[in-house]
Each structure stands twice: as C-alpha cells, then as structure tokens.
Amino acid sequence: MNIATYAAHRQDFPAARLRADFPILQRSVRGHPLAYLDNAATTQKPQAVIDSESAYYREINANIHRGVHWLSEQATLAHENARERVREFINARETAEIVFVRGTTEAINLVAQSYGRANLGPGDEILITGLEHHSNIVPWQLLCQQTGAVLKVAEIDDTGTVRMEQFERLLGERTRLVAVAHVSNALGTINPVREMIDLAHARGVPVLVDGAQAVAHTPVDVQALGCDFYAFSGHKLYAPTGIGVLYGRRALLEAMPPWQGGGDMIRTVSFQGSTWNDLPHKFEAGTPHIAGAIGLGAAITYMQQVGVHNVAAYEHELLDYGTQLLTQIPGLRMIGTAQNKAGILSFVVDGLHAHDLGTVLDSQGVAIRAGHHCAMPVMEYFGVPATARASLALYNTREDLDRLAQALHQAVEMFC
Ligand code: PMP
C-alpha cells in the first residue's frame, strides 16, 4: 500500500482516544502536560502491555520449556503464543524463524558472530550504508577484525538518501553480506529495502534489514521483502525493553552454528560434545525474558487493533505538519529531507546547541532527544556535532507539534 492509499484511513485516526491507553501520557512534567516526542529512542507502553507483563508475574510465573508442572506449561504457552504473534505480524513462514533476543543490537551481533564468522574470510566484504545506527556498524567492524573481512559503505547524499548507484557499484564479487536500516533513526529516511534486497539477491548476497525504526511505523512483510534476516526491538514497538526479535530464513538459520551456549539450546550434552536443539531454540541459550516476550505479544495485538496501515498514514500526515511548522522557525535547518521519510524530525538551529534546545524544550514538558543518536557518521557527513530530534508515535497529536514549535520559537527569541 502506498501513502496515497493510506490517506483514506487517516481522517478519523483516534490519536486522542489512544492517548488514554498510555498511563504515562497522563502525567505532567515540570508543570506541563507531557508532549512525548522521543519515540525513536523508546515508545511509551499501553496499559494492555503493562497488564500482560504483570499478569504473567501474578498468575503464571515459572520457567518455560523444561517444566512438567501446570504453571510452567501455562508460561510456555504464553511465551510461544507471543512468538506466533510476532510471526503473524511480520508474516514469517513459521515460528521456527522467530528468534527472541534482547533487541536489535543483539540480533545483529548474533548474525555477525554466527553467520558472519562461519561464512566470511579475509578480503570478503560486508556492505552497509552511510546512515546506519552504530549497532549496524560496530558488530561488522568487530567481525572484520576477527575474520579479515572488509566493511564497505554506500554513502548518502545531502537529503540523507542512500546513493543507490554507489550501493549497486559496491555490490561486488567479494560481497558476502548486505546490512541496511529499513528506516534511519537519525534522519527518518526510509531505505528502498526491497530494491536493495533484489540487487543483492541478483548477485547471490544475503541481506539483513535493521527494522528497529520501521516495525512500529510501517507494515513489514518479510516474505514480500524477501530479506534473509530482519531485526527489531520490542521497546520501540510499545513493548517492554530487553526483548527483541531476529527473523531469519530457515535455511540460513539451520546452517548457522549456535552463538551462545547454555541451557535450552542443546539436544544432548556430554563431555565428548553436544548437539543442538531445533530452531529457534538453538539460538536461545538460557532463560529468556519471558514476561518481555508476552508483553511484546500484547503490544503487537494492540498495534494490530489500531492497524499498522492507519498508523503509517497518520504519522505521515503528522510528519508533514511538523515539517511545515519547523521550517518556519528562523535559523532552523532540517537534517534529513529524503523524499521517502518516516516520522522523524531531526534539526539544528543556528547559534544554539542541540542539548541547550533540548533543555529549553524539557522545561516546557516537551521531550525530544539531542545528540548524535548513535549515528556519528551521519553527524560527520552533515558537519554537525549533534541534532535535536523529535520522533513520532501513534499517540502524538498536532498539539504536541504545536507545543514543540512554540517552545522552539521561544528558545530562538531567548538565545539568538
Ligand atoms: N538500529 C536503529 C535504526 C535504531 O534506531 C536502534 C535504536 N536507537 C537500534 C538499531 C538499536 O536498538 P536497541 O538499542 O533496542 O538494540
């Protein structure tokens, strides 16, 4: 579905009603109603997610998979039901392809250390882009140090769009893996991941997509995308921290060695050697974040009730509205003006440091982020030490953006 079709949905998007589902949004901060615009860092949690986690601890807390007693059975069912929720949400073929991890960072490290170490050698290349988050850069740098592989980077242009001709050119004889963000957390750019995957696959190269900033904002269908790995974090999707997902195509996961060893990931253990459990358990050593997985399942149910297409359309409209407001502020420069963008407004203001801006906004109850957003190469490209970033979620309203703009006008008057 494209944005024009989304438009049909957005007129009656019930953001104001949905706000009531999020207890924290009822708080006041520094004497003002909270305008929470730091959703790319983490989203707030609806009551349904909070309840699902606490109900687990109140009613069925037990360790999973190994227990023979009733509580363990119930906990296992709830945990595995959450896996099915995830499978359905991203349209994976089977739950064996859904590995629970701590978050996007852990998912990418898992692929680097398991797939990467098994398949890459000296001179082999990993291709990423110039807009990646540190967690889609550093694991590959570590892998390069360990294997002698080489990291290649397809640069961005002044709008924050990946230079596709360069991406295509860098896909070479030695490319063994492509790892790209679906959506940039620092710029909002939506990468043409489908096109990137097709280009890589035409050369037999597997692709990992970092979906940390995508899953809560745009429908994701891993089969339609054709990606080999897809990583995301629960906490950016209205779910608890400490839980995330690595989707991997079965054939790849089957062939990969385990990453961490321990309980649950084995079939047999003896001092002569061990054998591995079936997927996805082969990659889930130790007791997992059971309550977190259950909370993630509840968050996905919540998202599905609201409708991901509706959220995408609504946030796109808010993004347009926010962009119009911000571009009227004297001395403000948007960082990230790609044509295809998700709900991220990154900007700098002449003569004002991003951190000072953040502090002034905070005094008005407007929560944004200031810094390098774990994307130092992006900051370097744009020649700024930091940006201020407002990032949207389904409960944000035009009023939140009005308050952001108002506070920015005040800051500019005060300091410039
Ligand atoms: N990739 C992107 C694009 C992100 O925005 C983030 C979080 N800011 C991550 C990866 C890392 O996610 P986490 O810290 O939840 O592992």
Q: What is the dihedral of CA 144, 148, 149, 150, to 10 degrees?
A: 80
* Active-site residue (options: 144, 227, 374, 416): 374
Cβ within 8 Å of residue 152, ≥6 positions away: 125, 126, 127, 128, 170, 175
CA of 334 to the centre of ligand 1 (A): 22
What are the structure tokens assigned to 260, written together? Answer: 């961490």
Q: How many Cβ atoms are within 10 Å of 116's Cβ, its own excluded?
A: 27
From 129, 182, 189, 213, the mutation candidate for ligand 1 (largest count of ligand atoms within 8 A of CB) is 213
What are the structure tokens assigned to 174, written together? Answer: 């030695």
From 38, 100, 104, the mutation candidate for ligand 1 (largest count of ligand atoms within 8 A of CB) is 104
Is the sign of the CA dihedral 287, 288, 292, 295 positive or negative? Answer: negative
CA of 104 to the centre of ligand 1 (A): 6
Cβ within 8 Å of residue 367, ≥6 positions away: 29, 34, 35, 36, 37, 38, 361
Atom index in ligand 1 nearest the CA of residue 102 equals 16
256: left (phi over 0), alpha (psi -120 to 50) or beta: beta
181 phi, psi to nearest 5 deg? -75, 145
Atom index in ligand 1 nearest the CA of residue 41 equals 8
Q: How many Cβ atoms are within 10 Å of 271's Cβ, its own excluded?
A: 5
CA of 133 to the centre of ligand 1 (A): 7
Give residue for tokens 């089977």. Answer: 94
Q: What is the dihedral of CA 210, 13, 313, 347, to 10 degrees?
A: -70
For residue 394, the one-letter residue type is: L
CA of 89 to the centre of ligand 1 (A): 19
Q: Which stretches of the chain score pLDDT less than 50?
A: 1-9
CB-based contact 223:92 (threshold 8 Å): yes
C-alpha to C-alpha distance for 237 and 212, rounded to whole angstroms: 9
CB-based contact 52:61 (threshold 8 Å): no
CATH of range 50-304; options 3.40.50.11440, 2.40.50.420, 1.10.3720.10, 3.40.640.10 = 3.40.640.10
CA of 397 to the centre of ligand 1 (A): 24
Percent of the chain with pLDDT over 70: 97
What are the structure tokens assigned to 248, written together? Answer: 């991997």
* Residue 6: predicted pLDDT: 46
Question: For every residue of the chain, which 3-state class applies, written as one string?
Answer: CCHHHHHHHHCCCCHHHHHCCCHHHHCEECCEECEECECCCCCCCCHHHHHHHHHHHHHHCCCCCCCCCHHHHHHHHHHHHHHHHHHHHHCCCCHHHEEEECCHHHHHHHHHHHHHHHHCCCCCEEEEECCCCHHHCHHHHHHHHHHCCEEEEECECCCCCECHHHHHHHCCCCEEEEEEECECCCCCEECCHHHHHHHHHHCCCCEEEECCCCCCCCCCCHHHHCCCEEEEEHHHHCCCCCCEEEEECHHHHHHCCCCCCCCCCEEEEECCEEEECCCCHHHCCCCCCHHHHHHHHHHHHHHHHHCHHHHHHHHHHHHHHHHHHHHCCCCEEECCCCCCECCEEEEEECCECHHHHHHHHHCCCEECEEECCCCHHHHHHHCCCCEEEEECCCCCCHHHHHHHHHHHHHHHHHHC
C-alpha to C-alpha distance for 107 and 116, rounded to whole angstroms: 13
- What are the sequence ranges of the domains in the chain? 3-33+307-408, 50-304
* Residue 10: predicted pLDDT: 52
Atom index in ligand 1 nearest the CA of residue 103 equals 16
Atom index in ligand 1 nearest the CA of residue 374 equals 8
Task: Confirm whether 374 is a catalytic residue.
Answer: yes
The fourth-level CATH superfamily of domain 3-33+307-408 is Aspartate Aminotransferase, domain 1 (3.90.1150.10)
What are the structure tokens assigned to 209, written together? Answer: 């997509």
From 135, 136, 209, the mutation candidate for ligand 1 (largest count of ligand atoms within 8 A of CB) is 135
CA of 181 to the centre of ligand 1 (A): 10
* Residue 324: predicted pLDDT: 98
Which residues sit with their C-beta closer than 6 Å to ligand 1? 40, 103-105, 133, 135-136, 181, 185, 210, 212-213, 233, 374
From 111, 183, 187, 233, the mutation candidate for ligand 1 (largest count of ligand atoms within 8 A of CB) is 233
* Bridge partner list, 29: 32
CA of 302 to the centre of ligand 1 (A): 21
